[in-house]
Amino acid sequence: MALIDKFSQFPPAFTMQPGDGFAITKSDTVDLDQTTRYIYVGGAGNISVITISGATVVFTAVPVGTILPIRATRVLAATSASALVGLV
């Protein structure tokens, strides 16, 4: 399935609130169905993502309830945080 980026036409600093969400499945080989605008963290831990530019970024010790403003195409299996929700 092709990755959907509903917001590719917007500049990086847009401030519109997310209107949808989906459970994130961690994978080293499979992209998310949609590019995230934010990631909600339901269980504390580290989060390793691939961004829309292709960079790998690791957020360490992310607390429960955090909403990360990150345009991610994949959440890697090394991620120890749990109950992640992609917001778009």
Digit-coded pLDDT (tens) for 32-86: 999 999 999 999 999 999 999 999 999 999 999 999 999 999 999 999 999 999 9
Q: What's residue 17's pLDDT?
A: 77
**Residue numbers of the domain that contains 40:** 21-87
11 occurs within a structural domain: no
58 occurs within a structural domain: yes
2 occurs within a structural domain: no
51 occurs within a structural domain: yes
Work out the average pLDDT over 13-34: 87
The pLDDT confidence band at residue 13, using thresholds 50, 70 and 90, is low
64 occurs within a structural domain: yes
6 occurs within a structural domain: no
42 occurs within a structural domain: yes
pTM: 0.83
The pLDDT confidence band at residue 8, using thresholds 50, 70 and 90, is confident
Count of structural domains within the chain: 1
Q: Which of 42, 24, 41 is nearest to 33 (CA)?
A: 24
Contacts of 40 (CB under 8 A, 6+ apart): 21, 65, 66, 67, 84, 85, 87
